[in-house]
Amino acid sequence: MTIHREGYGIIAISTLILGSIQTGNYFLYKYTDWLWLYLLLSIGALVMIYLVIQFFRIPNRKVVFSENDILCPADGKIVVIEEVEEGEYFNDKRIQISIFMSPLNVHANYNPISGIIKYVKYHPGLFLVAWHPKSSSENERSTFVTEHKNGQEVLFRQIAGAVARRICYYVATKQSVTTGEEFGFIKFGSRIDLLLPLDAKINVKIGDRVQSRITKIGELK
């Protein structure tokens, strides 16, 4: 396991703040002799720094995929599988698969297919809860489209939630990408939408717990 580079600054600041609080806690204990309060605050500080560090964890995972596989781009839970009218890029019907990422999930995001990035666009917006139906079109979000070598295109979208306040991505149009490579990161709870061709084979169902770079969402025809 490693720590994502997006977490270095936050972890350092959190450590300084919690260290200062713990120093004050120690002097309070020396003044009051309240051991129970000292232990309670000490445990609380340890839990907080653990939660911050685990949010930015990147587990070591072996990526195995076939040419037409659509790998899961994020850890989380499948909350939507439905046919929708996609209006930003395709302007036609697609299969939408949405993955809700809680603050306890790994928050790095990975390319679901190999190909050429055809479209990248950031949209400022609201911060509705990530499972809200309108979050896909009204929340802060970034949209990407990758063209597979067979000519089919897959749209995937990072969506900020009520807690997530920063979307990071590291790809650009005309860039060649490989399935399972990192393309972005979302800080503190969010959602990923996949918009797939109607004839794509789907291997997941609503309620499934999925893992990035491991779970096979489906296959392109």
Q: Return all residues near 65 (Cβ < 8 A) that are at least 6 apart.
A: 71, 179, 180, 216
Rounded distance between C-alpha atoms, residue 157 and residue 144, angstroms? 6
190 catalytic per annotation: yes
Q: How far apart are the first and last CA of the chain?
A: 35
Rounded distance between C-alpha atoms, residue 84 and residue 79, angstroms? 14
Enumerate the H helices of 111-202 as residue ranges.
Answer: 135-138
Contact yes or no for 41/172 (Cβ under 8 A): no
Pick the catalytic residue: 114, 142, 190, 212?
A: 190
Q: Which residue(s) pair with 58 in the sheet?
A: 2
Edge-to-edge order in the sheet of strand 108-110: 108-110, 182-187, 166-169
Where in the sequence numbering do the catalytic residues fall? Answer: 190
